[in-house]
Amino acid sequence: MSSEAQHPVNLNTLYQQVILEHYKKPHGRGAIEQPTIVKSLQNPTCGDHLTVYLVLDELNQVADVKWEGSGCSISMATASMMAKAVKGKSLAQVDAIMQKIYAMIQGQPGDYKNIGELQALSGVAKFPVRVKCATLAWHCVEEGVKEYKEGGITNG
């Protein structure tokens, strides 16, 4: 008999494990020499600093993504999760993921199964003070992409 059947997996614990795993073994940590998009933001209430680098290909897909910064485990883990989630995606797909994350973190009901491990961030909705930590990486992407679109394509 499976012990899981007797003791259902505690989702909060599972989510904490996902976040801890990303914190310990971050994806995409580092800098990119010549990014298409670079955006730095801070979260003064917690002391988190983050810079996100994106390289877009000719189809406006994320060919590469990296980030560097310092801060709490939530901000660092979500930067790692963001990097893993957006790589290879089009800007439209990135935007769709981002809107789901924002809705979920704000505690809005919805179907978040298709965002996979990013559901781990849903627990943050219960801790309003951590919402800014969990959305910092996504705000870097959002504002960076916005500036890129407003600035047009700078290929000389």
* Nearest-5° Cα angle at 94, 129 to 61: 145
Element of type H or E holding 53? strand 48-56
Kindly state the DSSP code that residue 61 receives in the 8-state scheme: B
Looking at the Cβ atoms of 56 and 133, the one nearer to Zn ion is 133
Minimum CB separation of residue 35 from Zn ion in Å reads: 24
Looking at the Cβ atoms of 71 and 144, the one nearer to Zn ion is 71
Minimum CB separation of residue 75 from Zn ion in Å reads: 4
Kindly state whether residue 121 participates in binding Zn ion, applying the rule CB under 5 A.
Answer: no
Residue from 51, 75, 80, 122 in contact with Zn ion (CB under 5 A) = 75
Kindly state whether residue 72 participates in binding Zn ion, applying the rule CB under 5 A.
Answer: yes
Kindly state whether residue 23 participates in binding Zn ion, applying the rule CB under 5 A.
Answer: no
HSE of 87, CA atoms in CB hemisphere, 13 A: 12
Q: Is the Cβ–Cβ distance between 112 and 131 less than 8 Å?
A: no
Kindly state whether residue 42 participates in binding Zn ion, applying the rule CB under 5 A.
Answer: no
Q: Which residues have C-beta within 8 Å of that of residue 11, sequence separation ≥ 6?
A: none
Minimum CB separation of residue 26 from Zn ion in Å reads: 15
Kindly state whether residue 65 participates in binding Zn ion, applying the rule CB under 5 A.
Answer: no
Kindly state whether residue 142 participates in binding Zn ion, applying the rule CB under 5 A.
Answer: no
Burial class (CB in 10 A: 0-12, 13-18, 19+), 63: middle
Kindly state whether residue 105 participates in binding Zn ion, applying the rule CB under 5 A.
Answer: no
Kindly state whether residue 46 participates in binding Zn ion, applying the rule CB under 5 A.
Answer: yes
Closest CA to 43 of 134, 128, 152: 134
Interface residues with Zn ion (CB under 5 A) are 46, 48, 71-72, 75, 133
